[in-house]
Every structure is written in structure tokens, then in C-alpha cells.
Amino acid sequence: MNVKVVVGVVVVVVGIVIGAVNFLESNVEYMDFATAERTNKRAQVKGVWVQEQPTSFDAENVKFTFYMRDDSDRTVKVVLDGAKPNNFEIAESIVAKGRFVDGEFHATEILTKCPSKYDGDAEAVKKSL
């Protein structure tokens, strides 16, 4: 067989394998804290920040800690490997991506959903017309 053909096939196969592995690692399911803890898989958990609970930032280890309540009403301590996300205080909801470690949810990424500046009072607009 031609060496160029063999090298080409090997490169294509390696590319497909790397692509499949990256896809599987980036494909993270939405679930609540109970399911994420039970399955011990990487998960996305949607919820809200519990402002009554303590929030802290450890500058030495670059860890932001806060408490989050999921859609099933379970509150869990979340440890983010990084700084506090932008707009964290005004977020309507939060999505934490990570997994459980020793009873805490260790997140590698936090997404915040902020209120839209375009939402308004439709009734007030109707009355002004």
C-alpha cells in the first residue's frame, strides 16, 4: 500500500476520535442537584443564588463560593474555580456546570441570565398610545 494513503487514513481516524471525545466532554446534561450527585457525572444545574447564605471569594486559591437553590428547591454550596461572574448580583437565574465533590457542587463555569433591558410594562405602553 502507498505510504501516503496509510498516513492519510491514520490522520482522518485520529481526527474523528479526537472530535468524538471533545463532543462527549462538551455535551453536558441539565439536571437537578439530586440527580447530579447520584450520577456523579458532569452536569448543568439551573437555579437561583440564595442571597441569605454567605458568599465569599478566596483570592489565594481563586475560588468563589456561594449557595444556589435548584428548580427542585434543594440548596447546595457551589464552589467555582475562578472569580465571581459578571452581573452575578443582578442575575435572574444561574446555570452552574460541574460535578459534586464531597457534598459540594464544584463548578468550572457559571452562566448568568440577567433581566432584559427591553422588557417593559406593556400595559403602560398601550395606555400612552
Give the pLDDT confidence score for residue 25 in this predicted structure: 63
Helix (H) or strand (E) holding 29: strand 29-30
- The CATH architecture one would assign to domain 31-113 is Beta Barrel (2.40)
Report domain extents, the chain. Answer: 1-29, 31-113
Q: What is the pTM of this model?
A: 0.69
Q: Which segments of the chain have a pLDDT < 70?
A: 1, 23-28, 116-129
β pairing state of 43-49 and 29-30: parallel
Give the pLDDT confidence score for residue 73 in this predicted structure: 92
Give the pLDDT confidence score for residue 39 in this predicted structure: 86
